[in-house]
Structures are given as C-alpha cells and as structure tokens.
C-alpha cells in the first residue's frame, strides 16, 4: 500500500474542493438562469388581439342563452373579423375597473375595452382610438329614501361610494374643488352595477354612474333615479399602450371609420341602448308586480308555445304583456281580443274558435309571430330580424317593407333595425308615403311597440330562467322578484 505525503494529500483535497465548487457554481448559475427564463413572459402572439374588459351590461357578459354579449364584446369581435385571418380574439376579464389600466400598461393586454371615458388625465397615460359613444356621469339615488340631489349641498354628510379609478372619481374631485367639505369612499371590490344595487337597497345613499347603465338598472329597480349631472358628457373609446400601440391604433382607426360609414356602429348602439328609457319607473313597477300576480297563470301556456314555435317563452310573455297586460278579457275599440289581442282575420287564419280562451290565444299568437318571421328575409341577422318581426306583428309586413325600402333609398341598411326605424318614421311624410306601396302610416307606433316589447323582454330575461323542454317540461318558473316589490303583491 502506498501512502501519500501530507503535501500530496493537501493538493488532492484542494483540487477536489475546487472541482466541487466549480460544479456547484455552474449548477447554481444554470438554475438561476432557468429560473430567470421561467419568470420571463413569453412573447405574445402578434396575431392574438388581447382585450381587457370588465363584466357589465355595457361591456361584456354572458346572456340568458349562454352566449357572449355586450357592446364592447361585439365591437372587439368585429374588429378581429375586420383584420381577418390569422388574427384571433382573446378576452381578459378583470374583476374591477381599477385593474383595467394596470393590465394594459404592463403589457398583458393590447387593448382596453371597458366603457372607458376619454379624459385628459388618461390621455397622458395611454393612446385612445376614435370615440364611438357618449355618456353622462350622473348621481344615482333612491327616490323612496332620498330627495333628488341637484347640487353639491345635497351630497354633504351622505353615504357616497364610487368605483375606484373611474372617471366618476375625477368628476367628484372637480366638484370637491368647489365644495371642499365633500367626501366619499372609493372601492375596487364592487362594480358600478353593484353600487347601484346598493343604492336600491338603501345600503348607501348615492353613487355615480353613466346614464346608459342607470337606464338599464332602472328596469330592475324602478325606485332608482338620476340626479345631478357631473361635468360635461364623456366620450367613450378604446385605450392602447403608448409603448407599442401606434401600429395597432391605425388598425383601430380604420375599423371604426368603416363601421361608422356602413352603419354597423349605429346598429350596435341601438341594439344595446336603443330601447332604454322607453319605460317609466311606474311602468316597470306595474310590470314586475303583475309578473307575480298574473303571469304565473299563463307561464305553462307560453312554454308550451315555445315547444311548438321555438320562440323564447319570455319574448312571447313580453309581447303578450304589451298587447293585453296579461288581461285575458282585454278588448280594444277595434275588436282585437284576448291575451295576444288577436284580430278576427288572424283568428280565422289560425283556426281560433274563442279568442278569450288563453290556450288558443297564446298558441295562435306565437304561431302568427312565427308566420310573420317567415315573411322576413332570412339573411337579416338576429336580433334585428326578431325586432322587425315584432313591428310586423303590430302593423303588418307591408308597412315594414315600405320602411325598409325608404331606408335603402336613404343610403341606409334595410337589414338593420336601427335604420329601418328611421324609414318607419318617414311614412307619415307625404314626400315618402305617396310613393310607398302601402301608403300612409302613423308608423311611430310600431317602433314604440317594438321597443317596449324589447324592454319587457329584457326584464323577463333578468328574473325568469330559460326553458329547456327536454330538462324541465312545463314547470312553472320560480318567480323571485326584487325585495322592494314584495309589498306590492
């Protein structure tokens, strides 16, 4: 056996330690490098357009048919279609407006589309696309609990809560500069919609929201109202990151120029806001009350009619309410009668023997509505085709076609309800009706009729579930109305 000297042993040990240390350092360096690479965000796909938004009736939501909907959603979808393949759409939904701009500014989204007001402070942070809508910030109050706040004095020592980081905070600060003792709280835990509901429940006194959202919420809470306006009307637009949004901004500008010219923008605005404010609070209160007392008698009939026609029972119920207020014995001076207010001609066509028989009336009305829909070109997209069907149910297909022809002659889109409404309203003008096939028509009536049915249908969608015959045949809806109407029944 050979023994090494002390010097040799030390050298061997030293070499071993040096090798071990190098290996360790290399491994650590490699691990750190891997950790760094893992933390580095992958470069986004240039063909995936990422929109950051929030859930609200004005932006992005899932409707009662489990379809994505909302003005911002529809605009974003059409923007990607405008760009064409291989572009794709991705939505990032954050849980508060306060998170919208941080998501955009750190590069996690390409475009912020969340009903964003274009303000001077925000223009210093981001790029804005063209304005496509206009809203007015207003103080929301509960008429049953507070007087109308029409000046700053009415806001003192009140429970006021605002959604954090919104333009509403900016507006209140402007008011505070003139009334320094004005105070409020801000939250990123509750949306504008939730704060408006808190006002309805008297949990807070006031909040601030835009006029469009207030109008929508009044359909659910008729005791709500809008008080004083804060500042001037705000323009709404998409926001883009200044660091890498210049090229995308050009695409956005071209897109909005196109949809404004071809009427798409006008049609979308009408789809989401065109029918709001048709109902007065007392109308909503009455409708909700009768939904508790009268509607349950006929829910099974409306659902049965849906099984035959495939028309949403809630739309049939909304139409019936507009016709008769669910009064089975309703009769007009022109002798239209029953729940669906059938004429004698329609009754004969649908083989109705007794117009006052609810079962016959509802089924005949639903089949007649479907028959009307079949008279309207199938190329017309939904929901415009349904809106035109409602107008035709009220006033006939002939006047509808005249209105569509007038819209086309005006350079408008005859397949868009927003444009056909304008055609309708000209059928009482001699310059137009003398050349119309069906002549004069006081055609503001079918427009108002259709918008009212739309409004009632929206309320029905809020409080009544969809009906799936295969899952829940003929089960009467479990009606859960707002707490404030419990005492009205």
Find all residues with CB under 8 Å of 22, minimum gap 6, and list them: none
- Where residue 165 falls (left for φ over 0; alpha for ψ -120 to 50; beta otherwise) is left
Q: Under a CB-based contact definition with an 8 Å cutoff, are residues 277 and 215 in contact?
A: yes
Contact 128, 238 (CB under 8 A): yes
Which of these, 189, 201, 169, 192, lies nearest to 56 by C-alpha position? 192
Considering only CA atoms, which of 102, 98, 94 is closest in space to residue 125?
A: 102
Query: Who's near 173: CB < 8 A, 6+ residues apart?
Result: none
CA angle 262, 268, 270 (to 5 degrees): 110
The DSSP secondary-structure symbol of 155 reads G
Give the catalytic positions in this structure. 323
CA distance 336 to 330: 8
Calculate Rg over the CA atoms of the chain: 30
Going 350 to 351 to 352 to 358, the CA torsion angle's sign is negative
Question: How do strand 207-210 and strand 239-241 relate by DSSP bridges?
Answer: unpaired
Q: Within 10 A of 329 (CB to CB), how many other CB atoms are there?
A: 9
Tokens of 390: 């409602």
How far does Cα 461 stand from its chain's mean position?
Answer: 13
The 3-state secondary structure of 333-372 reads CCCCECCCCECHHHHHHCCCCCCCCHHHHHHHHHHHHHHH
Nearest CA-CA partner of 427 in 419, 436, 418: 436
* Rounded distance between C-alpha atoms, residue 299 and residue 336, angstroms: 22
Query: How is residue 478 annotated by DSSP?
Result: -
Give the Cα separation of 340 and 336 in Å (integer): 9
∠ at Cα 261 (62, 100), nearest 5°? 40
On whether the CB atoms of residues 192 and 213 are closer than 8 A, the answer is yes
Number of H helices and E strands in the chain, helices first, is 19, 14
CA distance linking residue 426 with residue 191, whole number of Å: 41
Residue in the structure block whose two tokens are 């507070």: 146
Alpha carbon distance 129, 79 (integer Å): 12
Please give the structure tokens belonging to residue 80: 């990607």
């Amino acid at each position: 056996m050979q023994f090494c000297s002390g010097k040799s042993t030390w050298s061997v040990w030293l070499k071993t330690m040096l090798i071990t240390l190098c290996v360790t350092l290399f491994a650590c360096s490699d691990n750190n490098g891997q950790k760094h690479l893992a933390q580095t965000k992958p470069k986004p796909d240039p063909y995936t357009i990422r929109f950051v938004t929030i859930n609200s009736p004005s932006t992005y939501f899932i409707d009662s048919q489990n379809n994505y909907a909302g003005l911002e959603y529809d605009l974003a979808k059409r923007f990607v279609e405008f760009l064409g393949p291989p572009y794709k759409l991705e939505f990032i939904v954050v849980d508060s407006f306060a998170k919208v701009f941080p998501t955009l500014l750190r590069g996690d989204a390409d475009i912020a589309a969340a009903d964003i007001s274009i303000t001077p402070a925000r223009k210093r942070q981001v790029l804005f696309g063209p304005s496509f809508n206009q809203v007015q910030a207003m103080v929301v109050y509960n008429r049953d609990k507070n007087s109308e706040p029409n000046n700053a004095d009415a806001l003192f020592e009140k429970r006021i809560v605002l959604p954090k980081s919104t333009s509403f905070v900016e507006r209140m600060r402007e008011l505070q500069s003139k009334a320094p003792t004005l105070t409020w709280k801000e939250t990123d835990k509750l949306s504008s919609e939730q704060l408006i509901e808190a006002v309805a429940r008297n949990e807070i006194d006031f909040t601030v929201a835009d006029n469009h959202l207030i109008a929508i919420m009044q359909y659910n809470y008729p005791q709500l109202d809008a008080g004083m306006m804060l500042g001037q009307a705000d323009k709404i637009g998409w926001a883009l990151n200044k660091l890498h949004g210049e090229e995308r901004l050009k695409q956005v500008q071209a897109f909005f120029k196109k949809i404004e010219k071809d009427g798409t923008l006008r049609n979308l605005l009408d789809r989401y806001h065109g029918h709001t404010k048709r109902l007065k609070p007392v109308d909503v209160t009455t409708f909700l009350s009768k939904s508790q007392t009268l509607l349950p008698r006929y829910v099974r009939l409306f659902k049965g009619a849906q099984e035959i026609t495939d028309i949403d029972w809630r739309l049939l119920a909304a139409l019936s309410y507009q016709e008769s207020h669910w009064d089975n014995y309703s009769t007009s001076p022109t002798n239209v009668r029953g729940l669906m207010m059938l004429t004698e001609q329609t009754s004969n066509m649908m083989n109705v023997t007794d117009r006052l028989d609810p079962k016959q009336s509802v089924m005949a009305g639903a089949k007649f509505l479907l028959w009307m829909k079949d008279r309207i070109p199938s190329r017309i997209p939904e929901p415009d085709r349904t809106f035109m069907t409602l107008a035709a149910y009220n006033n006939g297909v002939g006047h509808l076609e005249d209105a569509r022809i007038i819209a086309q002659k005006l350079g408008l889109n005859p397949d868009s309800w927003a444009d056909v409404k304008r055609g309708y309203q000209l059928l009482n003008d001699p310059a137009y009706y003398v050349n119309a096939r069906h002549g004069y028509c006081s055609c503001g009536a079918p427009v108002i009729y259709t918008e009212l049915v739309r409004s009632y249908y929206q309320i029905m969608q809020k409080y009544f579930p969809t009906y799936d015959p295969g899952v829940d045949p003929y089960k009467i809806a479990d009606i859960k109305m707002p707490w404030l109407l419990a005492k009205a029944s």
